[in-house]
């Protein structure tokens, strides 16, 4: 693994920070949970569809795209999906 390759921890951290910039109402922990859930959902959906694994870079690109498009409205776009209900039930942090 070359030094230019990032760890999953670094990737998730960067994506969570990106999501927080897009949706500042989220805590870091909530943003991180969203990132991990979106990541897992994308990879699981690809696998169920019988598609081959394209690598971390593809998943990162898709999750980043979702953050840019839906980050400030995640609750609206993903509220109908039961996989994300646990993320929506958290109340606002004070």
CA dist., res. 23 & res. 6, Å (int) = 24
Residue 26 lies in a domain: yes
Report yes or no on 82 lying in a domain. Answer: yes
Q: Residue 25: which domain range?
A: 8-88
**φ and ψ at residue 92, rounded to 5 degrees:** -65, 145
pLDDT at 88: 62
CA gap 90, 28 in Å, rounded: 13
CB 83 within 8 A of CB 33: no
Question: What is the tens place of the pLDDT at every residue in 11-50?
Answer: 999 999 999 999 998 999 999 999 999 999 888 888 777 7
Overall number of domains in the chain: 1
Q: Is 2 part of any domain?
A: no
From the list 9, 12, 26, the residue with the least C-alpha distance to 71 is: 26
Integer Cα distance of 13 and 82 in angstroms? 25
Q: What is the pLDDT of residue 75?
A: 66
Residue 50 lies in a domain: yes
């Amino acid at each position: 693994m070359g030094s230019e390759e990032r760890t999953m921890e670094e990737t998730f951290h960067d994506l969570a920070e990106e999501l927080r910039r897009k949706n500042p109402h989220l805590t870091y922990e909530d943003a991180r949970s969203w990132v991990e859930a979106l990541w897992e959902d994308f990879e699981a959906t690809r696998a169920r569809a019988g598609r081959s694994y394209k690598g971390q870079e593809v998943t990162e690109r898709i999750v980043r795209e979702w953050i840019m498009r839906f980050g400030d409205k995640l609750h609206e776009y993903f509220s109908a999906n039961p996989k994300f209900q646990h993320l929506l039930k958290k109340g606002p942090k004070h």
